[in-house]
Each structure stands twice: as C-alpha cells, then as structure tokens.
C-alpha cells in the first residue's frame, strides 16, 4: 500500500509542476495548436538485493508423504502428491536464477532403501500473472527428476532455471506428483508398526542460470 501511495503522490507532484509552469505545460503542443506530445514516467527499483540470492528468493518448497506400503518380496511403486510447491520470487532482478534439489539416503535409522528411487514429476513452470511471458524452464526429459534413495543419495539435480531477464515475478515449478520405487530388498521391522523411512530433500537457489 505504501508503494502504491508513493507512486500516486509522485505522479500528482509531476502534474502539479506541469500546471505551475506555462512554458513546460505547453512545450509539447504543436505549432497549429491541434496536437500535443507528452509522456508518463516512473523509476523502477528491484526488491531488496540483500535478501535471498541477490534479491531472488525461494518462498516455498514441496514435501512428499507416501501412504504405508506392505512389502511382498517384489519391487513396487507407490505414488503421492506434494504438499507445498517449489516457488521462486524474482522482484525485477535481471541476473537469471537456478534451483537444484539433492537428497541424502532414505533410511529408517538402521536400514537404507538401496536400489530405490524417488521420481518427481513437474507439469511445467507456471505463474499467476497471465501477462508474464518471462517463463523459466523445467528439465526437458519428461520434466522429471530422479533421486536415488541409497546410501549416497543424489547430488544436486536441476529442477527449474531462468536465463538472464527471464523468470521475473513469481514462478511455481509444479513438481506435484512423486513416485517412490521400493526395491525388493527393502526391510521392515514388522507387519504392525513397520519402519518409517525418510530422505531429506535440499532445494538450493542461486542467482545465475544453469
């Protein structure tokens, strides 16, 4: 609200100055008095560049909770949808940006899902501003990111990137769907309580394209 009021006040001030000076007010009128050329102007500033990565920030990131699965001696897959969305906010910074995700092993504290994988699938980047054409890119290979669940986890994988002067405004990566591939070698404590496995996902933003 303060920014909006500031802009209105500035425009009003310029208008007032124009009316106060006959020379300035009529300088753009043509010699015949049948037309005039004027302008409208504003100074735009980026958001606070001390925040996030040079002013560009992550404002949300997804997590994934799968329903309990019963092991049957065979490899199996289970699906879920995300809670939250990977969201990047760029308040007018021209540098471009890149977001990656990595993970550690998926473990119950004792055992690890060696040979398994977590597959995240995006429907493509989107924004709530229908006039925003500075679309960033999600990976082109079916827009999926595969993270291993074994002891080594997975190093940083690209999930969304924007070239210089792209990805302006607020963008969602929409990694809405996830599939957990459970190996046949998975171990559970018992058939009642089971074993709670978890992997930590680390989402990282830099203010430069990939």
- List the chain domain ranges: 1-43, 57-206
- Distance between CA 132 and CA 89 in Å, rounded? 13
Q: Which residues of 70-89 are buried (b: 16+ CB within 10 A; e: fewer)?
A: ebeeeeeeeeeebeebbbbb
Instruction: Evaluate if pTM is beyond 0.85.
Output: no
Burial class (CB in 10 A: 0-12, 13-18, 19+), 44: exposed
The C-alpha atoms of residue 205 and residue 171 are separated, in whole angstroms, by 13
How far apart CA 47 and CA 92 sit, in angstroms, is 7
Question: In which residue are the tokens 């190093």 written?
Answer: 155
Query: Mapping DSSP to helix (H, G, I), strand (E, B) and coil, where does residue 109 land?
Result: coil
Q: Quick one: pLDDT at residue 22?
A: 41
User: Which pair of structure tokens corresponds to residue 67?
Assistant: 């329903």
Close Cβ partners of 173 (under 8 Å, ≥ 6 residues apart): 85, 86, 87, 88, 99, 122, 125, 138, 159, 160
CA pair distance 115, 183, nearest whole angstrom: 6
pLDDT at 23 (0 to 100):
42
3-12, pLDDT tens digit by residue? 222 233 333 3
- Can you list the residues of the chain whose pLDDT is less than 70? 1-27, 139-142
Find the distance separating the first CA and the last CA of the chain, reported in whole Å: 36
3-state secondary structure of 5: helix
Q: Which of 71, 76, 101 lies closest to 173, judged by CA?
A: 101
Q: What is the pLDDT of residues 52-66, one digit of tens each?
A: 999 999 999 999 999
């Amino acid at each position: 609200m303060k920014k909006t009021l500031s802009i209105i006040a500035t425009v009003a001030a310029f208008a007032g100055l124009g009316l106060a000076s006959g020379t300035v007010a009529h300088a753009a009128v043509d010699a015949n008095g049948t037309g005039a050329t004027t302008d409208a102007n504003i100074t735009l500033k980026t958001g606070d560049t001390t925040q996030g990565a040079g002013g560009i920030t992550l404002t949300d990131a997804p997590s994934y909770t799968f329903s309990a699965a019963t092991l049957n001696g065979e490899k199996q897959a289970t699906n879920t949808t995300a809670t939250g969305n990977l969201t990047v906010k760029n308040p007018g910074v021209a540098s471009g940006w890149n977001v990656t995700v990595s993970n550690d092993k998926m473990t119950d504290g004792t055992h690890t899902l060696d040979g398994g994988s977590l597959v995240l699938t995006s429907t493509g980047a989107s924004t709530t501003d229908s006039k925003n054409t500075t679309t960033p890119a999600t990976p082109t290979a079916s827009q999926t990111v595969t993270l291993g669940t074994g002891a080594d986890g997975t190093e940083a994988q690209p999930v969304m990137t924007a070239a210089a002067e792209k990805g302006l405004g607020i963008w969602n990566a929409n990694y809405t769907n996830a599939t957990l591939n459970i190996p046949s070698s998975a171990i559970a404590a018992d058939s009642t309580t089971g074993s709670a496995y978890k992997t930590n996902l680390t989402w990282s933003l830099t203010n430069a394209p990939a």
